[in-house]
Amino acid sequence: MLKQTLLYTGKAKSVYETDSADHLILVFRDDASAFNGEKIEQLDRKGKVNNRFNAFIMEKLAEAGIETHFEKLLSPTEVLVKKLQMIPVECVMRNYAAGSLCRRLGIEEGKELVPPTFELFFKDDALGDPMVNESQAISLGWATEEQLAQMKDLTQKVNVVLKDLFAKGGMLLVDFKLEFGVFHDRIVLGDEFSPDGCRLWDKETKKKLDKDRFRQGLGGVVEAYEEVAARIGVDLSDI
Ligand code: ADP
Ligand code: TMP
């Protein structure tokens, strides 16, 4: 598959067209951003680590019967994916309270949410990704009721698979964000799953092993991502 025109430069990845109308190449860069682009830094190795991490997770999800856009790794920083018509809604599942939920509702960080909470955010940098509800997403034409139901169902399935995977590595999957798109009329999981888009805590010490280390200036960001990878069996030895 040949890499062609640069279609889009996001905050962490660049998106290229290929010679196939149905495929794109995503390039994971070392850029880290937080607070809607206010804090930006380059973190050595982040692109390679997240590309490999994401491939591992996408393969686990495919094994569990969840269709994803992942096709194959092309290089340490590049992945071939199905080209999706992205739905501009981010699906967030929370097992424990953290981040914006604590800020919004005044809840103590770490409170277990039973059952897990499902939230939607409108993917729009200019507006700071505001929270939206299903009714708004339907009325504004971002997704149909059926598509949203499928996205919620798939997000719950991902939660079941990944909660267990991270638990085996001694970690709590606190929350995570997924993006979906349409591929030939089917809802397919797109974008990435990496410590950039989720929260992971050590089960015993509650040490943060995710992008909150960057947001909160705790240091050791990529080292923490590598620790998570090692705990769940992602092989990073050749990158
Ligand atoms: P952002 O756009 O939030 O800055 P990234 O830097 O990760 O995020 O950019 C990657 C972009 O590619 C995102 O906008 C994402 O929605 C989009 N994307 C991810 N997977 C696919 C796919 N399979 N098909 C089309 N677009 C995709
Ligand atoms: P939040 O607490 O900031 O709402 O985020 C919840 C989870 O979703 C957290 O793991 C970070 C992730 N997330 C993103 O990666 N990108 C986003 O734009 C949003 C809204 C959340």
Q: For residue 145, which phi and psi values (nearest 5 degrees)? A: -60, -40
Residue 61 CA to residue 178 CA, distance in Å, equals: 13
Q: Quickly count: other Cβ atoms within 10 Å of residue 88's Cβ.
A: 16
Under 8 Å between Cβ of 14 and 6: yes
Q: Is the CB of 117 under 6 A from ligand 2?
A: no
- Domains defined for the chain, CATH in brackets: 3-82 (3.30.200.20), 85-221 (3.30.470.20)
Q: Is the CB of 93 under 6 A from ligand 2?
A: no
Q: Hey, what are 205's tokens?
A: 């010490």
- Provide the residue type at 48 as one letter: K
Q: Is the CB of 191 under 6 A from ligand 2?
A: no
Choice from 36, 39, 111, 175 to test ligand 2 binding pocket (greatest atom count within 8 A of CB) = 175
Asked whether the predicted pLDDT for residue 230 surpasses 90, the reply is: yes
Q: Beta strands 171-183 and 186-190: pairing type?
A: antiparallel
Under 8 Å between Cβ of 40 and 59: no
Q: How confident is the model over 170-206, as pLDDT tens digits?
A: 999 999 999 999 999 999 999 999 999 999 999 999 9
Q: Beta strands 78-82 and 23-28: pairing type?
A: antiparallel
pLDDT for 144: 98
Q: Is the CB of 96 under 6 A from ligand 2?
A: no
Residue 1 pLDDT level (bands cut at 50, 70, 90): confident
Match 């962490």 to its residue by tokens.
Answer: 12
Q: Under DSSP, is residue 102 helix (H, G, I), strand (E, B) or coil?
A: helix
Residue 110 CA to residue 76 CA, distance in Å, equals: 35
Q: For residue 131, which phi and psi values (nearest 5 degrees)? A: -70, 140
Q: Under DSSP, is residue 190 helix (H, G, I), strand (E, B) or coil?
A: strand
Alpha-helical runs (H) found in the chain:
46-63, 99-105, 134-139, 145-168, 212-215, 221-232
- Provide the residue type at 37 as one letter: G
Q: How confident is the model over 79-115, as pLDDT tens digits?
A: 999 999 999 999 999 999 999 999 999 999 999 999 9
Alpha carbons within 13 A on the beta-carbon side of 78: 13
Per-residue pLDDT averaged across 137-161, rounded?
98
